[in-house]
Amino acid sequence: MLFDREASDTVLGWNQRFQIALGVAKGLAYLHSECLEWIIHCDMKPENILLDKDSEPKITDFGLAKLLNRDGSDANLSRIRGTRGYMAPEWVSSLPLTEKVDVYSYGVMLLELVKGVRISEWVIHGVKFADMDTRMVVKAIHEKMGTGDQERWVKDLIDHRLHGEFNHVQAKAMLKIAVSCLEEDRGRRPNMSSVLQALMSAEDEAR
């Protein structure tokens, strides 16, 4: 897991973080549109991502998972609840849910992979987001991106424990993808197949 207390002294290297992001994206894309029965996980969070002996990420805990309507209509899942901090805005509004709730949760996890801490522990412009207000984090990242100095804002948002040992192309892609996944309007969020394609393109570009 990303936040394994028993391995708190171990810092994941950049390549492993990127491969986790890529592997989880592959898994969600499969669940949402490729497997025999389309599935919404409904509780995506770091605790539900386990690494096997080869450090390949595996999506676990399908206790809240529901089948997705193949005709594209919303699933009537408003009574179930995910985990605070990873729940899309439509959970609170009690709207029928779609696979975009998983996309939102994935966006949160992507930011946490990049920074190496829970989103509630992010500090940007000297402000700590202890209240788990993801919107404030996204707004602050947008402001960073707006400076135009890509090398600077990417470096500022990366886990300092990596000591600069990360791939700039991949990091920039992960941050931009995360922000798009965290759109308040679910209609503006990408699907996981698009996310996967963007990550694979970043992987190819970084070679």
Report the distance separating Cα 96 and Cα 75, nearest Å: 6
Report the distance separating Cα 15 and Cα 57, nearest Å: 13
> Which DSSP letter does residue 158 get?
S
Closest to 48 (Cα-Cα) out of 36, 65, 73: 65
Bridge partner list, 75: 97
Report the distance separating Cα 145 and Cα 157, nearest Å: 10
The answer to whether the beta carbons of residues 174 and 141 sit under 8 Å apart is no
What does DSSP say about strands 57-59 and 66-67: parallel, antiparallel, or unpaired?
unpaired
Tokens 């995360």, located at residue: 178
The one catalytic residue in 43, 102, 131, 185 is 43
Closest to 195 (Cα-Cα) out of 20, 28, 19: 28
Respond yes or no: is residue 43 known to be catalytic.
yes
The answer to whether the beta carbons of residues 175 and 157 sit under 8 Å apart is yes
Active site residues: 43
